[in-house]
Structure 1
């Protein structure tokens, strides 16, 4: 299964989208809240059930002991969000000042997440928060750069509005370059579009227009559902019909689409297409030219 990192140019639904994908997945799933600017799930969706003794920050000390200590600490800091324990959350930082301690932890955490996805069959979603770019590269402290570099897919979350496009447009080329130079390749980058109701009324941008404007493929789209989004953000009592909501139904479809895209990328990376043999290409070219001449 893939490791998918979600990022954005501004606060436009990364956490709620990542949580919707995690909850809707047909497979065991994990949401790792890795925004260096701090997490919101602890106080929001988890309603204060998880204290500061749990979460991402505690992995830093374990990583300095070694890989086994990191793996054990990681497993003990996952919080189940369903009765069967198939869906879990790694709660994020309680203070942005803690992010500096994780500089050397991100890469080791990425290894753990990939083992969980590829060997244990989990859908893994990373909330990497808002991107910070300096001198055309991801900021080494304000972004979890190694998690983004090593992800199977990187989803740039964008709303279908002019304001969101304007904020996102300047991040596409630096992020694509970053993935080419330090990651798994620019082909890992795609868009996750949040479609407000305005789209259905003829206002706002369609997914095709957004893909053209940002020169990046749309890998998934989720409808805007204010009641469910508020629940995913703030917690509390689920709205009526929550489990059958349009948002979760689309999120389930999106998780399947993302898995298919990641699988195609793995196949392409393992078996890259070979250029045609120049001798064969020459023969075919002469043959087609000869036939075209006879028709003339």
Structure 2
């Protein structure tokens, strides 16, 4: 299954989209909240239910001990998002000042995420937040650059508005160049369109010279629930956002599969330090939802 990173030029609904995709997937799924500016899911969707003792920051200390310790910490810091534990969250940072500690952790975390996707069949979604550039390249501290470099798909979340397209235009070329030079290829780059504004998918793709891989409808009530938590809106399970998100996950898998066939990707070499990560994940479903 693919590892898909979601990014934006400015606040375009990355987190709400990532939550929708994770919760709507027909397969086991994981949302890794890796925005260096700080995570919002624990305070928003979970309304503080997930304490600061869980999450991304704790992986940095573990990684300094070794890859095996990181795998153990990863399994211990996932939070179940449904009763069965098929959908999991790696909560993000509680303080943006913690981001600097993660620069050397991103590559090892990427390995673990790909083990989960390739060997356990998870849909993995990375909320990478707002892109930050430095001298035309991804900023090493303000973006989780290694996660984007190794992702199967990197989707820039845009809206069909003039403002959103204008902001995105300045990022498309640098991001495509970065993925070509340091990632899995510029073909990994695509768009996730939030259907807000006058421009349709074909117009957005033409304007940004980048394919629209999937689209999600503007569904204010469900997106608001993902942002602030509380009681789900009436008809939540059949909401337009979740229904279209299910389709979007299939479109992303198809796009990733086409890339693998076209590129004839070699199998990822096994990492002996991560051999037990799947067993640990199965043993540790995470804390029960209250």
* 2:266 matches 1:251: no
Residues 228-271 of structure 1, C-alpha deviation per residue, up to 9 Å, x if partnerless?
A: 00000101000000001111000000000100110111111217
Once the two structures are superposed, the pairs formed by residues 1-296 of structure 1 within 5 Å of their partners are 1-196=1-196, 198=197, 204-270=198-264
Corresponding residue number in structure 1 for 2:283:
none
Distance between the aligned counterparts of 1:179 and 1:147, measured in 2?
Answer: 11
Equivalent pairs counted in the alignment come to 266
Question: What is the deviation of 1:135?
Answer: 0.8
Distance between the aligned counterparts of 1:263 and 1:217, measured in 2?
Answer: 16
Task: Name the SS of the counterpart of 2:127 in structure 1.
Answer: strand
Distance between the aligned counterparts of 1:271 and 1:89, measured in 2?
Answer: 28
Distance between the aligned counterparts of 2:260 and 2:205, measured in 1?
Answer: 23
Gaps in structure 2 of 5+ consecutive residues = 267-290
> What is the RMSD of the two structures over their aligned residues, measured on CA atoms?
1.0
Residues 85-135 of structure 1, C-alpha deviation per residue, up to 9 Å, x if partnerless?
A: 000100000000000000100000000000000111000000000000111
Residues 57-99 of structure 1, C-alpha deviation per residue, up to 9 Å, x if partnerless?
A: 0000111111111011001100001000000100000000000
What's the TM-score, normalizing by structure 2? Answer: 0.91
Distance between the aligned counterparts of 1:66 and 1:135, measured in 2?
Answer: 32
Tell me which protein shows more helix as a share of its residues: 1
Distance between the aligned counterparts of 2:68 and 2:186, measured in 1?
Answer: 32
Distance between the aligned counterparts of 1:235 and 1:242, measured in 2?
Answer: 12
Task: Name the SS of the counterpart of 2:60 in structure 1.
Answer: helix
Residues 269-290 of structure 1, C-alpha deviation per residue, up to 9 Å, x if partnerless?
A: 2179xxxxxxxxxxxxxxxxxx
Q: Which runs of 4+ in 1 moved over 3 A?
A: none
Greater relative contact order (Cα 8 A, min sep 6): structure 1 or 2? 2
Q: Which is greater in Rg? A: 1
Distance between the aligned counterparts of 1:158 and 1:132, measured in 2?
Answer: 16
Gaps in structure 1 of 5+ consecutive residues = 199-203, 273-296
Distance between the aligned counterparts of 2:86 and 2:62, measured in 1?
Answer: 24
Distance between the aligned counterparts of 1:149 and 1:229, measured in 2?
Answer: 28
What's the TM-score, normalizing by structure 1? Answer: 0.89
